[in-house]
Amino acid sequence: MSQIAEEVNLTRPPLGLPQGSVRALLTLLILGVVIHEMVIGREVDILWNETLLISLAHYFSRRRFINIPASEVPRLQKEGILPPETRPLYLPTGFIRALIILSFAALGVYLYREGRLFEAKVFPILGAVTAYVVGMFFGWVAKWFMKPGSKALLIRWQDFQASIVLIVLVITAALFFVYGSAGVPPWLRNAALFLTLYYFGAR
């Protein structure tokens, strides 16, 4: 195991930057384009919409939520069992995630004050990002504060979420199969998208 860790440590990250820096640069570029397009009122191209969701999946899914004693972390990292926390672009840990959340929060406030928050060009993207982050947050809270006596309650809550998402997505898929995209009302499209992203974020 230690030999594997040494081989990993000797591997040079792309461009000689700290591990994860290229992903951070790509994310910042995608974030800048999406926010710019939404602010000026242009419809965000599917290219940027999809790459944004990929970036979100990376930054809000591959996180360490295992409760490990601080004294054990250095040993586990040295043995190669636990990957070290990275600092992309030499920034503090968690900076990119915080920047994503704050950027979209500021964008939401701006669009609300401009009366454009629920525009067709804006709402699906902003709602999708919000749903994913909210799902991630609730999933983290549920696991972090779960007590031995509340496990049954957590299981019921997870079953409830899964049932709602499955019902909405099955209805949406059935309408697509029978009538095509024209047979699915916009509100149901948004509900299916937001609930799916929420669920994946929560898991």
Is residue 189 in a domain? no
Find the angle CA(183)-CA(42)-CA(189) to the nearest 5 degrees.
Answer: 20
Is residue 199 domain-resident? no
| Residue 200 located in a structural domain | no
* Average confidence (pLDDT) over 133-153: 71
Instruction: Give the model's pLDDT for residue 35.
Output: 93
Q: With respect to residue 28, please indicate whether it lies within any of the assigned structural domains.
A: yes
pLDDT for 116 beyond 50: yes
Task: Look at the chain and count its residues.
Answer: 203
Range of 64's domain? 2-145
Residue 195 lies in a domain: no
| Tally of domains in the chain | 1
Which string of b and e fits 11-25 if b means at least 16 CB within 10 Å?
A: eeeeeeeebbbebbe
Is 112 within the bounds of a domain? Answer: yes
In a domain, 21, yes or no: yes
Torsion of CA 19, 31, 101, 128, to 10 degrees: -120
pLDDT tens-digit readout, 167-178: 999 999 999 888
Q: 101 lies in a domain?
A: yes
